[in-house]
Structure 1
Amino acid sequence: MSIHSLDGRVVVVGAGAKNLGGLISRKMGEAGARVVVHYNSDATRPDAEATVRAIKDAGSDAFAFQGDLTQPTNITALFEAAKSRFGGVDIAVNTVGKVLRKPIVETSEEEYDSMFDINAKAAYFFIKEAGRTLNDDGKIITIVTSLLAAFTDGYSTYAGGKSPVEHFTRAAAKEFSPRGISVTAVGPGPMDTPFFYGQETPERVAFHKSQAMHNDLTRIEDIEPIVRFLATDGWWITGQTIFANGGYTTR
């Protein structure tokens, strides 16, 4: 089986039921991969089930797995379920994240803990479990944010919670390299999803749009092909954070 093909590969997608994660799950399935569609809450179950049906309708196989990935035992169970059902795991994509825009002086300890649990802790143990579980020549991809290369107010716990993932990615790339496993992070610009609009005013949305090509936000359709590329032909890229944001920011 070629490492450049998705046909027959087993993919675990964290938060893989809807939005960007759902599109990644569906496109991986359409390309022949068998997909484990993770989701967190009961409210997302219908989306997860719809994504699984779409993958099966495309001629591949999939199943849904529910769990709170801020608990490492649930991450272990996720990968063990994938191994039990499909015999192994080749690709792990983590799209789990939570956005909060709030001034530092108004941020509670509970909000801080939640943001770092979801954006940093879950990412760390997802990478850890993927590194322990993946077949040789596997791929690990984490969605971060272009705010890691930006300088703005309000997003201290979001950008701060995502920033450690760069260091996790670099260390894992070195540690897993002897087994041919590439480890990367993708930082989208402000994305045209409900998560973004819930945090911003119309004026700030207009400003964010003005900073990218075509005066537009990043779309999930802009990011999914990059993830698919990193999981196939782009395997030689490792230890990197790729800023995919239409020129919104870089460093």
Structure 2
Amino acid sequence: MTSPDAPSTDVLRVEHVSKRFGTVTALRDVNIRLAKGEVLGLIGDNGAGKSTLMKIICGFHQPDTGRILLDGDEVSFRSVDHARALGIDTVYQDLALINELSVYHNMFLNREPVILGCLLNNRKMRSLARRHLDDMGVHIPSVDVEVAKLSGGQRQAIAVARSVYSRSKILLLDEPLAAMGAKEGVQILDLVRDLKARGEVSIMIIAHNYAQVLEVCDRVNLLQHGSITFDKPTARTSLKELTDLVVAEYRTARAGLRPAGDPP
């Protein structure tokens, strides 16, 4: 067991965070941690509070109670840009890519290098984009191609690469494998494995596919009704255990909605 005086290896800690929207309580006393170089899977039913938690971590929402620590220092994010400046970036399902622009323009969106203070340095962007994608093992035929012409897996990889090479130290992935085929999903899982092997970026993945979570994550948290109810290393849990937990929640919810006297 770690000594209480030992330095923490956590790059991110969320402590006793709660969030309400009017009469709806989205999060209740949430505690979550992410170690340097770790991949954490966050699972839970729709409406459990996963998106709200992610939006608090990335600076979109402010928590009502609790605090966030980054490398051991308490922080209060003023905005998404503020969180990003401190090294936290999010890749949402919609990816925030501009389909009509090239791969390399999307890689440097809103942080384009310029010449003489006003002219885009397209040569530099093209060269760096190619180098970054090759370095991460992302196979794109040409960085000049429009993003709209790429597969879903390729677009997801570009969004992840953009965050990594903007010097993010914490990467939040919101359903990165949603609506993807098996081949595209493998490409993204391989990308996450490569990032984990480097140990330079800590990753939190929101996912519904528990098998994929067990495959690439070091640890898994289950969020139920706004609270973390399960926290285990993936090596010490199983697909059956995770499924049984969610099925039990479903049965409890169903029993609560069943009229008195109805059979189970």
Q: Which has the higher strand share?
A: 2
Same-fold status (TM-score > 0.5): no
Higher relative contact order (CA 8 A, sep 6+): 2
Greater Cα radius of gyration, structure 1 or 2: 2
User: TM-score w.r.t. structure 1 length?
Assistant: 0.37
User: TM-score w.r.t. structure 2 length?
Assistant: 0.36
Q: Which has the higher helix share?
A: 1
